[in-house]
Structure 1
């Protein structure tokens, strides 16, 4: 083997480190001729010596021109060796060039790109053992501040991709490790380079990058928030292409490893990231199915607040969240309710109901109407599909659900009432003991029915404005959902234990008005009016006992049920009751009610004077209670229409008018009425004394 200095002539060596590119190129051509000659003579050691000299004396030199000469000389060696002879010398050729690729001089970095391109172009697939080093160098070169270097790296990048696509033994797992290690970079050029590689790898039929998706999906969503519009668009296109591939091969995707990534980005502050993550979540729910249910709490925590984006600027986000929510709801079916063969831990693992309830409870107090509506629909759906498991945690959400009845949105209140109705009649709760006075309803109610009504009455008691504004709306809806009999029966039973007489009187007044006027209670009114069964009589008694808190409401109930004799007896007792302005106002409203279509039957009964003595006496008693007002004139004119001849011929008889209800002990009811009214009198006296004491204390404090 000859010495390196003897192989390359001094003249060529001088030209190789000349500052002019043309002279260095001439020297490179001479080296190329020399290497061809050595290769033809199989002088491998001499070739290695020349390459070593180029590395030691030139590419590693402190002289920039020498380094440039070394780079072009190494490329000339590769070209001269050709694809057949270059392989044994690749390490000596590639490594020195890679060192120069990070040189401080941008021109040297550019020539390093050019040299690498020529070496790789010759060796092609034989450079694959050096792929890691080449990829690492490309990652840096594509982010080079010098545009010429970046352009040079683009050529090398395309060449390397061509080789990879042709190489059947390409190690994709190794490549993905390299890519994932670098993908969290903030450099825009590097981000673009890495996304281009992802798109390229995804386009190669023999390569399936979906297996590695959990390792880089999070980073792609981070890149989606890049300040550069171009990078964002590039990233969006990458995500769209990957999602299309997921549609084609869902069986190869590990959905469970990526759900939490999407949950995070669905809550991003960047709307562009949020909407794309939500669209991915929607597709994951459809493609993965029940697999994602174990992440229910996180998914709901991401979807529910996003539903609040209702303005036109965020329409896409709202629609994506809405669609995802609908798809997700469909996954929860009866199969996830209590199953005897599965342990509680297994059931919670498949669908963590407890965690879901906590999320729903939190978002039930959200400011957005759309979010609250979605939450209520979720609770209703769970009560329908998995009632037994839902009831394990229902106490945690019950009060929050009740409090939504105070919401300003009618839709929220309506849905909350439907949800509460489902809760009160769900098979998941312990059954409420049946009442004998139920005439028409076959609905089986549970203990939460009474709990709901108790809580509702307390809400009315604590918030007078809520009671005045919402009582009729809520009660009428509940009567439709849970049967009016059930609502009024339990209300009456609860009210019997009420200590606040003022509240009891007002709430009875409201419930009575609803009973008398609302179309939702037509059937109950008819049952009470006809009193054709024992159950109807018992229902009358139940209502009567609580209606006694309001004398005028009691009279209207008795008139409705056609118990005219007892009504007359009650009216005579009014002489013992304090007549106030409010009391007279209620009687005034009763007269208006008697003129309404509800009491048409009663007005017609007035024509039968001989058989409705007590009814007529009731009307005259009401007339005597009224001051001479408009209502007085209305009732007086009505009574003036009675047949005068029959009225004058009426004699005292023992025959009772109205319904004949032998099951009712009216004497006992009258005693109960008197007892309740005495309680009201005592309550008023107590309140008056209490107010007087407070006034005395306030006066003493002022004087001191």
Structure 2
């Protein structure tokens, strides 16, 4: 009958028949009648063949309504009916794809096994149709995909991952530009306890990363980096390793565009440097690679006011460090329990004072107390690195004293080598530290003094120490310090040149080396 109507172009009769089956039968109160209506709609589509595309709305809408039916058998028949309609109509059903996708995502987690089985066949057919389609409304799908990707149901997650994989594989679909909208959801799925789901998600993420590395120009790095930073702190090892790996690639591919995110990136990688178990070795090595590469991005050019990248519209983008946030992160991690993390932090501070001393000057008062505290660290490596930072700060000609720092108690006459005012401030604070912590003086005093004499001018160190000790009120402490300084001077290889100078007392300069009026 339907074939006859179609042959004679009797659209009115076909429409009437669809209305009867769709409204009176498929939406009936009787479950059996609903099943009959669904079978009838599928039969009409088969009879119409390619002509079914002309009536696709009347065919699909009643079927979609039946997917919400409380009777699992009705839902199953709806799967079969939509399958047959879609098999005939093919690409014509894509105009209703978002509704079909929404239904499929729910059916994937249906409590009835038979319904799930029916939906799997329908799902496979829809993937084939999308793959072969020349035009697909990805923009319209994204809100649904973005919402469904946060499902905690294992079957729903499997469904979402399979669709993301299919869409990404379609040559005419550029899913990369929409990746920022679904990346967080993908990383959440990656920590699913189901190993099969993990493996599927890991494969999809690896495919995305390969595409990113192949053509970075179309990737919105800035919209995804904070997602990676968040997941890099996950206790799940696979999730954390994947996030750190992505950060590494982002830093290598986008370079200085990552500078504004420095504090977040270092928050992600610095704690990872402390890992010492085999299971987290890959995470640690990847974090070290990120840290090394990222540090090289900070150059002398960053000490200027701006470092423009490009003009986007009317907005000038700049590759600049957010120094306040970065210094906060470094200060926080200087209190970390790991030697490797603390050493890395100190190397970062040293690097910043080498490359951008002018911009780092305002943070001296914030960092100085933390650096002095680090001298009491139990690790020789930390103390040595800390001394290198302090030596750079107190010897840098780029650092000058501000009016707020004019503290007469902490200021001494300028030394012969033109050290900045923080030189005397540091030496004074070091002696105070030794005075208050005699264990530090006994255990590390000689080591610290000798290292300072390597890093700085030994004559300046001894001259300044002598000037301060001359006015020291605690005579006992002063005598202990003098004894220690004499022992270091007479025995350590680091003070060889200074010993040679002291032997030559013929000139007025040499004879007054430690003589003050």
Aligned residue runs from structure 1 range 520-535, under 5 A: 520-535=494-509
Q: In 2, are the aligned partners of 1:460 and 1:466 still within 8 Å (CA)?
A: yes
Deviations 1:124-143 (A, max 9, x none): 11112111111111111112
Of the structure 1 ranges 109-118 and 309-318, higher mean CA displacement relative to structure 2 is found in 309-318
Q: Determine if the alignment matches structure 1 residue 226 to structure 2 residue 192.
A: yes
Deviations 1:350-371 (A, max 9, x none): 2111221111111111111111
Larger radius of gyration: 1
Task: Give the aligned partner of residue 476 of structure 2.
Answer: 502
Distance in 1 between the 2:240 and 2:378 partners? 29
Task: Give the aligned partner of residue 283 of structure 1.
Answer: 249
Aligned residue runs from structure 1 range 645-664, under 5 A: none
Task: Give the aligned partner of residue 375 of structure 1.
Answer: 345
The alignment's TM-score, normalised by the length of structure 2, stands at 0.92
Task: Give the aligned partner of residue 488 of structure 1.
Answer: 462
Cα deviation for residue 433 of structure 1 reads 6.2
Of the structure 1 ranges 471-480 and 422-431, higher mean CA displacement relative to structure 2 is found in 422-431
Cα deviation for residue 269 of structure 1 reads 3.2
Which of 381, 384, 387 does residue 411 from structure 1 map onto?
381
What's the secondary structure of 1:392's corresponding residue?
A: helix
Distance in 1 between the 2:347 and 2:415 partners? 30
Q: Determine if the alignment matches structure 1 residue 519 to structure 2 residue 485.
A: no
The alignment's TM-score, normalised by the length of structure 1, stands at 0.68
Task: Give the aligned partner of residue 449 of structure 1.
Answer: 423
Cα deviation for residue 411 of structure 1 reads 0.7
Which of 410, 427, 434 does residue 460 from structure 1 map onto?
434
Q: In 2, are the aligned partners of 1:217 and 1:261 still within 8 Å (CA)?
A: yes
What's the secondary structure of 1:393's corresponding residue?
A: helix
Task: Give the aligned partner of residue 665 of structure 1.
Answer: none
Distance in 2 between the 1:171 and 1:137 partners? 17
Deviations 1:370-391 (A, max 9, x none): 1111110000000111111111
Q: Determine if the alignment matches structure 1 residue 122 to structure 2 residue 95.
A: no
Q: In 2, are the aligned partners of 1:387 and 1:427 still within 8 Å (CA)?
A: no
What's the secondary structure of 1:372's corresponding residue?
A: helix
Task: Give the aligned partner of residue 66 of structure 1.
Answer: 33
Name structure 2 gaps, 5 residues minimum: 309-315, 402-411
Q: In 1, are the aligned partners of 2:109 and 2:153 still within 8 Å (CA)?
A: yes
Distance in 1 between the 2:57 and 2:306 partners? 67
Q: In 2, are the aligned partners of 1:202 and 1:208 still within 8 Å (CA)?
A: yes
Give the aligned length: 500
Task: Give the aligned partner of residue 336 of structure 2.
Answer: 366
Distance in 2 between the 1:450 and 1:434 partners? 8
Which of 33, 45, 48 does residue 15 from structure 2 map onto?
48
Q: Determine if the alignment matches structure 1 residue 239 to structure 2 residue 205.
A: yes
Deviations 1:75-110 (A, max 9, x none): 110000001x11222111111111112222222212
Q: Determine if the alignment matches structure 1 residue 157 to structure 2 residue 127.
A: no
Q: In 1, are the aligned partners of 2:396 and 2:419 still within 8 Å (CA)?
A: yes
Q: In 1, are the aligned partners of 2:251 and 2:293 still within 8 Å (CA)?
A: yes
Task: Give the aligned partner of residue 368 of structure 2.
Answer: 398
Cα deviation for residue 427 of structure 1 reads 3.0
Deviations 1:533-555 (A, max 9, x none): 4332221425xx8xxxxxxxxxx
Task: Give the aligned partner of residue 321 of structure 2.
Answer: 351
RMSD: 2.0
Aligned residue runs from structure 1 range 138-287, under 5 A: 138-287=104-253
Of the structure 1 ranges 423-432 and 42-51, higher mean CA displacement relative to structure 2 is found in 423-432
Q: In 1, are the aligned partners of 2:274 and 2:284 still within 8 Å (CA)?
A: yes
Deviations 1:501-552 (A, max 9, x none): 010000110011000100111111111113354332221425xx8xxxxxxx
Cα deviation for residue 122 of structure 1 reads 0.7
Q: CA separation of 1:341/1:224 partners in 2, compared to 1, >3 Å: closer, same or farther?
A: closer
Cα deviation for residue 181 of structure 1 reads 2.2
Q: CA separation of 1:340/1:245 partners in 2, compared to 1, >3 Å: closer, same or farther?
A: closer
Distance in 1 between the 2:24 and 2:335 partners? 75
Q: In 1, are the aligned partners of 2:307 and 2:320 still within 8 Å (CA)?
A: no
Aligned residue runs from structure 1 range 96-115, under 5 A: 96-115=62-81
Distance in 2 between the 1:246 and 1:433 partners? 58
Q: In 1, are the aligned partners of 2:306 and 2:320 still within 8 Å (CA)?
A: no
Cα deviation for residue 341 of structure 1 reads 9.5
Task: Give the aligned partner of residue 590 of structure 1.
Answer: none
What's the secondary structure of 2:274's corresponding residue?
A: coil
What's the secondary structure of 2:443's corresponding residue?
A: helix
Distance in 1 between the 2:318 and 2:388 partners? 27
Distance in 2 between the 1:335 and 1:52 partners? 73
Which of 43, 48, 63 does residue 76 from structure 1 map onto?
43
Cα deviation for residue 478 of structure 1 reads 0.8
Distance in 2 between the 1:142 and 1:44 partners? 36
Distance in 2 between the 1:206 and 1:496 partners? 81
Name structure 1 gaps, 5 residues minimum: 1-33, 437-442, 546-704
Cα deviation for residue 434 of structure 1 reads 5.0
Distance in 2 between the 1:403 and 1:112 partners? 71
